[in-house]
Amino acid sequence: MPLSFSFSWMGATIALLMRSTEAVQSAGFIWLFPLTFASSSFVQTENMPSWLRAFANHQQMTQVIDAVRGLLLDQAVGSLGWQALARCTGILVVLIPLSVSLYRRVAAR
């Protein structure tokens, strides 16, 4: 849930930065594809090339996916859950004030 909430605020920020609905549709998902496909969602990171493994192991999606996978399979999650929650909180701390500021600027026009 924290991930979807932070992604919602990211979508709101992107929408407020764009001028047209077509641009929002294009930019709304373009940042999500590399994060999803370069994560542990489809392939274990041990099977990735070393340059991609380094990126995949240290990004938001991999931490969240591994934490959720561990919880669903009743495995030890370790610190992954807290790291994922901390990253989602960090995204929210940055994007909520930014989105509110952008909204105020757009609404004032």
Mean pLDDT of 90-106: 95
- 6: exposed, middle or buried (C-beta count within 10 Å: 0-12, 13-18, 19+)? buried
Give the per-residue pLDDT at 21: 86
Q: Given pLDDT bands bounded at 50, 70 and 90, which one contains residue 99?
A: very high
Are 66 and 40 in contact by the 8 Å Cβ rule? The answer is yes
Q: Which ranges constitute the DSSP H helices of the chain? A: 2-17, 21-30, 32-37, 50-57, 60-72, 80-107
